[in-house]
Amino acid sequence: MSSVELTVTTSWIKIFNIQLYGYFGVYIYEQADNLSHGSVLFMENGNLSSNETTIANFRGINLLSYLIRNLPMEFHFENYPSRIYEIQKNNDYLEVRITSGTDISVKFTLFSEFPNKNIIFTPKKDNYKNSSFIRTGAYSSPLMKNGTASSISYMDSDVTSYDIQIFDKDNKQVLLTKNLTNTNESIQDLGVLTNLPTLPTQIEISIKKNGGNKSSKIYIENVTICYN
């Protein structure tokens, strides 16, 4: 599940940094006015021209699910009809704008009907001193349509920062690199995986520190990949 809060204006803005297609859902929650909210289920059914849209009247108190089969589409909330939203696909990325009414901050949450699965990777050891990427271990990756990653990790206080990288060894593709600066052990959001393989492959987790003394360390307890 991925959430983002955006200011929606008359200009198109990308909602999620994930390409979406097929069957998925978005929960939409206005952060002002009447705090209207509703969920939309997308079940794509081919491509339509830009003038073929659907109006969805969302209730502002109770959650109302609305099934969308085609994009682009327009909608408004039942208790605030003067603000009209439009959603379209651009290279499989969802974009939103308003075609009528005032700008507003909106929280969008992506969810899927299909349950996410987790891969929890435990490295060979839990602390490292290297200043260039070193492999902490590898695993066999299943096919993934979408994926995000997180870690439980931190660094000594004199270290400038540290990097975690997820690498597809078979296809020689970087799936994710994240720079972090936290000095307390905590869960860190590593972001969205890209360049996902089309066949099962070997995935490597690597880590390195930036700055600090030779004896300074970075610590990593695990990396979790959430995918569907």
* Residue-wise pLDDT tens digits, 89-136: 888 788 999 999 999 999 999 876 555 677 888 898 889 999 999 999
Nearest-angstrom CA–CA distance, 175 and 197: 9
Sign of CA pseudo-dihedral 92, 97, 98, 104 = positive
pTM for the structure as a whole: 0.53
Quote helix, strand, coil % in the chain, to nearest 5.
0, 55, 45
Element (H, E) at 91: none
Instruction: Answer for the pair 199, 114: CB distance below 8 angstroms, yes or no.
Output: no
Task: Classify domain 117-227 at the CATH superfamily level.
Answer: icosahedral virus (2.60.120.660)
Q: Residue ranges of the chain with pLDDT lower than 70?
A: 1, 21-23, 43-71, 112-116
The SS3 call for residue 194 is: coil
Radius of gyration of the chain (CA): 21
How high is the pLDDT of residue 34?
A: 79
How high is the pLDDT of residue 58?
A: 38
